[in-house]
Structure 1
Amino acid sequence: MSKTDFDLIVVGGGPGGYVAALRAAQLKLDVAVVESTHLGGICLNWGCIPTKALLRASEINHLLHDLGPFGFKAENVSYDFDKVVARSRAVSKQLAGGVGHLLKKAKVPVFDGRGKLAGVSRGRRMIEVSKDGKPVATLTARNVILATGARARVLPGIEPDGDLIWSYREAMVPKAMPKSLLVIGSGAIGIEFASFYRNMGAEVTVVEAMDRVLPVEDEEISALAHKAFEKQGMTILTGAKIGTLRKNGATVTVPVEVAGKTREITVEKVISAVGIVGNVEDIGLEGTKVEVDRTHIKVDGYCRTGEPNVYAIGDVAGAPWLAHKASHEGVLCAEHIAGREVHPMDVTNIPGCTYCRPQVASVGLTEAKAKATGRTLRVGKFPFMGNGKAIAMGEPEGLVKTVFDAETGELLGAHMIGAEVTEMIQGYVVAKTGELTEGELKETVFPHPTISESMHEAVLAAWGGALHF
Structure 2
Amino acid sequence: MPEDTYDMIVIGAGPGGYVAAIRGAQLGLSVLCIEREHLGGICLNWGCIPTKAMLRSAEVLHLAQRAKQFGLTIADPTHDLAAIVKRSRAIAKQLSNGVGYLFRKNKVTSLMGEARLAGDGQVVVTTKDGVQTVRSDNIVIATGARARQVPGLEADGKRVWTYKDALAPPHEPKRLLVIGSGAIGIEFASFYNGIGADVTVVEVMDRILPAEDAEIAGLAKKAFVKQGMTFFEGAKVAGLERHDDKVIARIDTADGVQELEFDTVISAVGIVGNVEGLGLEELNIKIDRDHISTDACCRTGVDGIYAIGDVVAGPWLAHKASHEGVMVADLIAGNQAHPVKPESIAGCTYCNPQIASVGLTEAQAKEAGHALRIGRFPFQGNGKAIALGEAQGMIKTVFDAKTDELLGAHMIGAEVTELIQGYVVGQKLEATGQDLMETVFPHPTLSEMMHESVLDAHDRAIHI
TM range (shorter): over 0.9
- Which position in structure 2 is the counterpart of 1:245? 240
- Report the residue type matching 2:61 in the other structure: N
Paired position in structure 2 for 1:350: 345
Structure 1 counterpart of 2:10, which letter? V
Structure 1 partner of 2:42? 42
2:457 aligned to 440, 456, 462, which one?
Answer: 462
> Unmatched 5+ residue regions in structure 2?
none
1:56-455 equivalences in 2 (<5 Å): 56-120=56-120, 125-131=121-127, 136-455=131-450
User: What's the secondary structure of 1:245's corresponding residue?
Assistant: strand
SS in 1 for 2:283: coil
Per-residue Cα deviation, 1:134-156 (whole angstroms, up to 9, x for no partner) = 85210110100000000000001
| Deviation, structure 1 residue 332 | 0.7
Q: Shift of the alpha carbon at 1:262?
A: 1.9
Greater CA drift, 389-398 or 75-84? 75-84
Work out the CA distance in 2 between the residues paired with 1:255 and 1:325: 37
SS class of match (1:34):
strand
Find the aligned partners of 2:293 and 2:459 in 1 and give their Cα distance. Answer: 43
State the distance in 2 between where 1:135 and 1:381 align. Answer: 60
Q: Output the amino acid matched with 1:129.
A: V
Specify the SS of the correspondent of 1:325. Answer: helix
- Once the two structures are superposed, what CA deviation does each residue of 1:74-125 show, in whole Å capped at 9, x if it has no partner? 22322222111100000000000000010011111111111111011xxxx1
**5+ residue gaps, structure 1:** none
Percent identity reads 57
Are the structure 2 counterparts of residues 73 and 29 from structure 1 closer, same or farther at C-alpha, using a change threshold of 3 Å? same
Report the Cα distance in structure 2 between the residues aligned to 1:437 and 1:299, rounded to whole angstroms: 32
User: 1:63 aligns to what SS in structure 2?
Assistant: helix
**What are the superposed Cα offsets for residues 255-303 of structure 1, whole Å, 9 maximum, x if unpaired?**
1122132222111100000000000111111132421110111111111
Distance 1:427 1:456 in 2: 10
Does the CA contact (< 8 Å) of 2:2 and 2:111 recur in 1? no
Q: Deviations over 1:232-271 (max 9, x none)?
A: 0000111112122112330111111221322221111000
Is the contact between residue 128 and residue 135 of structure 1 (CA under 8 Å) also seen in structure 2? no
Say if 1:2 and 1:13 are closer, same or farther in 2 by CA, change over 3 A.
closer
Number of aligned residue pairs: give it.
464
1:316-365 residue CA offsets vs partner (Å, 9 max, x unmatched): 01100100000000001101111111322211111000000000000011
8 Å CA contact 1:245–1:254 kept in 2: the answer is yes
The Cα shift of 1:2 comes to 4.6
SS state of the match for residue 416, structure 1? strand
Q: Which amino acid aligns with 2:12?
A: G
CA distance in 2 between partners of 1:377 and 1:288 (Å): 47
- Aligned partners of 2:324 and 2:339 also within 8 Å: no
TM norm structure 2: 0.98
With the length of structure 1 as denominator, give the TM-score of the two structures: 0.97
The answer to whether the 8 Å contact 1:409/1:438 transfers is yes
Q: Per the alignment, in what secondary structure is the counterpart of residue 242 of structure 1?
A: strand
SS of the residue corresponding to residue 445 of structure 2 reads coil
SS at match of 1:379: strand
